Amino acid sequence: MSTLYKPLLFTYKLNFENMIYKVHGQVYLWIATILFATSNSIVQKLTDIGAHHLIDGRNPISPCNVLFVSNLCALSVLIPFFRKQLSRRTFQFISYQDWLRLLVVSVLSGAIAPAFIFTALSQTSVSNVILVGRIEPPMILALSVCLLHSRLNRWEIIGTLVSFVGVVFTITLQHPPTNTLPMSLIPLGKGELLTILGTAAAAIATVISKARLGHIPLSLYTLVRLVIGTSVFFTLAIVLYGSVHFRDVAAPVLWQWMLLYGIVIVAIWQLCWFRGLRASTTSEAALVNSFNLWGSIPRRSAA
């Protein structure tokens, strides 16, 4: 009898371990989503704090300063944390094609996407940016079907369509946005269009990561993405706005808050999101990501 049940027990144990691994992946995704959802409210509160510590009339806790300094603070924690895993053998494990894909993902998600989003915030309200950004889950699912040949069930398709139609109606039924572009169907302003471009960049980076970079060690993936994304973002900001854009980056009030924000929000969020993304399907990641809207809506809109 024991011989008869050994294959069944082995199969049950294997399925159970796979189920635990999958559940853990979704838990990581939910933790990352909660952290990301609260980040907008935290940044808004930090901006209010910075308004009471002006430097020659300028707020030192600006969105660009927050992104740049918080990434530096996150790196100061993640590099010592992953130090033992960053051996020469680890770097040799990555092929030239993988380095190229990692570079593309880092630029898309760490530089281009936030650059578009921050520029959109100067063109439209925070609420519009958040609402239009909800097209990311449908984009991820559509790209996963086209590029990864993923299969969606009926409820995933219905949920994606409802989400997309809801965003379209929300934009269409509100007052006409400023700086409206000549669109025949949807009255999109420059801010909304920039948000769509930034969201598309983030969605493409997510699909590439899931499809081609799952075998890269999480430590190397996280650090390289942060370093490249931060460097490219800093360069783009200097080119677009000039060197004076980061003149308040050394303000003590900025660093004392970014040490906490960079460690708790940026570092932990990235570790949980990428760990969960690797242990879950693309549709599961898109579904969990769609819930970050509710914690992101600010108490007041600001152009």
59 phi/psi in degrees, rounded to 5:
-85, 115
- Helix crossing, 113-121 with 190-212: angle to 10°? 160
- At residue 60 the predicted structure's pLDDT band, cuts being 50, 70 and 90, is very high
| 218 close to 275: Cβ distance less than 8 angstroms | yes
Higher pLDDT, 59 or 36: 59
Q: What is the pLDDT of residues 156-183, one digit of tens each?
A: 667 667 766 766 666 666 555 555 555 4
Q: Is the pLDDT reported for residue 53 higher than 80? A: yes
Phi-psi region at 242: left, alpha or beta (left = phi > 0; alpha = psi -120 to 50): left
| 209 close to 274: Cβ distance less than 8 angstroms | yes
Question: CA–CA distance from 287 to each of 30, 151, 261, 271 (Å)?
Answer: 10, 14, 26, 19
How many Å from the N-terminal Cα to the C-terminal Cα in the chain? Answer: 72
3-state secondary structure (DSSP) of residue 6: helix
| 128 close to 297: Cβ distance less than 8 angstroms | no
What was the pLDDT predicted at 9?
41
Sign of CA dihedral 187, 158, 160, 31: positive
What was the pLDDT predicted at 7?
46
Least confident of 28-37, 115-124, 151-160, 263-272: 151-160
Residue type, 287: L
Higher pLDDT, 238 or 85: 238
Q: What is the pLDDT of residues 61-116, one digit of tens each?
A: 987 898 899 999 999 988 888 887 777 777 777 888 999 999 999 999 888 888 78
